[in-house]
Amino acid sequence: MAVEKSLTVRDYLEPRYAAAAGSRLAGAARKSLASFQDMLKNQAPKPDESAVAGLRISEYLKNPVLKTQTSRPPRVPAVSNSTAVGPRSMETQEEAETTQRTRKVESERAAQVQGARRLSRTSLQEFRAENATGHPVEKSIQQAAAKYNLSPELIRSVIRAESNFQAEAVSPAGAKGLMQLMPETAKELGVTNPFDIQQNIDGGARYLRQMLDRFGGDLKRALAAYNAGPGAVEQYNGDVPFSETRQYVQRVLRYAGLRA
């Protein structure tokens, strides 16, 4: 004896699958399907209602997948030209603050540079004042200039060109001290300690005085002799061909504020 089964959705839509459940169930399925199809045929779409109610059952069955509606882009609020509110006003305020900070930093740097320059000038003035009142080097220069009838500026220029005021300077050739006296020359001049400031400047100024007297007061030849020796000046009749000597003479004259 066949066992009656309850109709499923598939049996309801397609009655042929309900045959196995028995004639009564199959007949019920066919009758229900016919009634459902008649209902679909008799249902006429109304233009006014379709716009409001959406798709009907028949339309949905014909096209079950709905098209995805195109999403509208989010509405972007218009940017206001006013600087009172809004993102642009914030950017403008930040730019103004950045500009102010930059100007403040530049102003502080300028003040520091000016302060450093004033300090440098003050230190230079103090150094010159100290030298004028009793610095060992300046004191020895003044004494030697008066003793050998030389310009103090000329002695300073020779010291600057020879050692740049380094009392312990020693050249590769063996010249020593502020005015770079060679050992034999220092011995002839009576300098026992070439690193002693007073002895070195006195000996160097005396040697420069000797060269001026030897070459008739010609400063260029005297300076060339101080650098290359009097024999070289006499050998080349005052025109020493050594580039080092020529540059030395020009450098001393420039330091002394004289024309080369």
Helix 219-228 × helix 197-214 angle, to 10°: 120
Beta-carbon count within 10 A of 222 CB: 23
What six digits make up the tokens of 7?
């109709």
187 CB-near residues (< 8 Å, 6+ apart): none
Q: How far are the Cα atoms of 104, 119, 126 from residue 114, in angstroms, in the given order? A: 15, 9, 18
Q: What is the DSSP letter of 64?
A: -
Quick check: is 162 catalytic?
Answer: yes
Judge contact between 166 and 177, C-beta under 8 A: no
Beta-carbon count within 10 A of 227 CB: 22
Judge contact between 176 and 183, C-beta under 8 A: yes
Of the candidates 4, 91, 106, 162, the residue annotated as catalytic is: 162
Judge contact between 17 and 11, C-beta under 8 A: yes
Q: What is the DSSP letter of 16?
A: G
Alpha-carbon distance of 86 to 32, in angstroms, equals: 66
Judge contact between 215 and 231, C-beta under 8 A: no
- CA 171, 176, 181 angle in degrees (round to 5)? 110
Residues assigned a catalytic role: 162
